[in-house]
Amino acid sequence: MQLYKDQNLRVHNSLSGKKELFQPINEGHIGMYVCGPTVYSNVHLGNCRTFMSFDMIFRYFKHLGFKVRYVRNITDAGHLENDADEGEDKIAKKAKLEQIEPMEVVQRYTVDFHNTLQKFNLLPPSIEPTATGHIIEQIEIIKDILEKGLAYEVNGSVYFDVVKFNEDHEYGKLSGRKLEDMIANTRELTAQDEKKNPQDFALWKKAEPQHIMRWPSPWGDGFPGWHLECTAMSTKYLGETFDIHGGGMDLKFPHHECEIAQAEASTGKSPVKYWMHANMLTLNGKKMSKSTGNNIYPSEIFSGDNNILSKIYSPAVVRFFMMQAHYTSILDLSDEALLASEKGYHRLMEAMTSLKDLKTGATSDFDVAAWKQKCYDAMNDDFNTPILIANLFDAVKHINLIKDDQETISSEDKELLEMTLNAFVYDVLGIENQALTKDDSKALTGVMELLIQIRNDARANKDFATSDKIRDELTALGIQLKDGKDGTSFSIN
| 263 vs 395, beta carbon nearer Zn ion | 263
The dihedral sign for the CA sequence 238, 242, 248, 254: positive
Give dist(CA 339, CA 332) in Å, integer. 13
Rounded to a whole number of angstroms, the minimum distance from the CB of residue 74 to Zn ion is 11
| 59 vs 72, beta carbon nearer Zn ion | 72
| 230 vs 263, beta carbon nearer Zn ion | 230
With a CB cutoff of 8 Å and minimum separation 6, the contacts of 214 are: 207, 221, 222, 223
Instruction: Look at strands 67-72 and 29-34 and give their pairing.
Output: parallel
The dihedral sign for the CA sequence 339, 344, 347, 348: negative
Cβ–Cβ under 8 Å, residues 196 and 159 = yes
Q: Which helix (H) or strand (E) holds 259?
A: helix 257-267
Give dist(CA 259, CA 262) in Å, integer. 5
| 35 vs 52, beta carbon nearer Zn ion | 35
| 50 vs 166, beta carbon nearer Zn ion | 50
Rounded to a whole number of angstroms, the minimum distance from the CB of residue 430 to Zn ion is 23
CA atoms within a 13 Å half-sphere pointing along the CA-CB vector of 170 = 8
User: What is the DSSP secondary-structure string of 114-159?
Assistant: HHHHHHTTPPPPSB--BSGGGHHHHHHHHHHHHHTTSEEEETTEEE
Rounded to a whole number of angstroms, the minimum distance from the CB of residue 164 to Zn ion is 23
| 126 vs 299, beta carbon nearer Zn ion | 126
What strands lie across the sheet with 242-248, from one edge to the other? 67-72, 29-34, 242-248, 272-278
Rounded to a whole number of angstroms, the minimum distance from the CB of residue 35 to Zn ion is 3
With a CB cutoff of 8 Å and minimum separation 6, the contacts of 197 are: 161, 162, 163, 183, 189
Rounded to a whole number of angstroms, the minimum distance from the CB of residue 218 to Zn ion is 24
| 230 vs 425, beta carbon nearer Zn ion | 230
The candidate with the shortest Cα–Cα distance to 308, out of 338, 347, 267, is 338
Rounded to a whole number of angstroms, the minimum distance from the CB of residue 12 to Zn ion is 19
Question: What residue ranges bind Zn ion (CB under 5 A)?
Answer: 35, 230
Rounded to a whole number of angstroms, the minimum distance from the CB of residue 83 to Zn ion is 12
Rounded to a whole number of angstroms, the minimum distance from the CB of residue 119 to Zn ion is 24
Give dist(CA 207, CA 337) in Å, integer. 48
| 35 vs 399, beta carbon nearer Zn ion | 35
